[in-house]
Chains A and B, each alone.
Chain A
Amino acid sequence: MIILFTLLLFCGLVFFTGGTVGILRFPDFYTRLHPAGKLDTFGLVTTMGALAVYVLFSQHQPLTALKIVLIVVFVFITSPTATHAIVDAGVRAGLRPWGKDTSNSEETDVLAD
């Protein structure tokens, strides 16, 4: 059980690191949403699964483990909803996606200010 816990926690930390680097390095608002969604759902699900395994098998608290699983279920419902709401706000506000013709005009101007 300790092996499963460590493996899941390490996998979740890898997903957190990859999502954060993706949020920092992707060129556009729409492309930055892709690692943000991965980080929200899968990183949190794996780390919370690891903690639920530890609480259930090493501390013998089944109710607390059930609450952690409840957090996972809640995040699985709400995180795609939040990501879709952010995308919808960007589309309705008229943000243009990053492309070959718009790659050097707006983004660098904004960052230069």
Chain B
Amino acid sequence: MEQTFLIASIVISLLMFLSLYRAVRGPTVLDRLIGVNAMGSKTTTLLVLIGLLYQRVDMFVDIALAYAMLNFIAVLAASRYFQKRKGLYDEGAQQ
């Protein structure tokens, strides 16, 4: 059963690297925000899988819950900040 957890964790980690491409090369700031949000939701699953691998699920579940809250608040604050700015395409081209 540990093999299953390990394979699922490795697959999720590779998918996080693929999401990192969108966060690095996104044309606009909001594309980067989409990539970061996808990586955060994958991290929530990965934390519980790590807890199952280390036989300490009861501790890692709390960390996963805190990470889900942190991800939500970060995305909400960043999108509220960037909606006040005009011309996101020009900024994305400059970066």
Contacts and interface: CB of A to CB of B under 8 A. Distances in A.
Contacts of A90: 28, 30, 88
A13 B37 contact: no
A58 B52 CA distance: 11
B35 to A, nearest CB: 7
A95 to B, nearest CB: 6
A110 B44 contact: no
Nearest to B89: A106
Interface string B27-68: 110110111011001101100110010000110011011001
Nearest to A77: B72
B8 interface: yes
Contacts of B11: 13, 16-17
B11 to A, nearest CB: 6
A110 B34 CA distance: 18
A58 B1 CA distance: 11
Nearest to A67: B61
B39 to A, nearest CB: 10
A17 B15 contact: yes
A29 B49 contact: no
Interface of A: 2, 6, 9, 12-13, 16-17, 19-21, 23-24, 29, 32-33, 36, 39-40, 43-44, 47-48, 51, 54-55, 58-59, 61, 63-64, 67-68, 70-71, 74-75, 78-79, 81-82, 85-86, 88-90, 92-95, 106-107, 109-111, 113
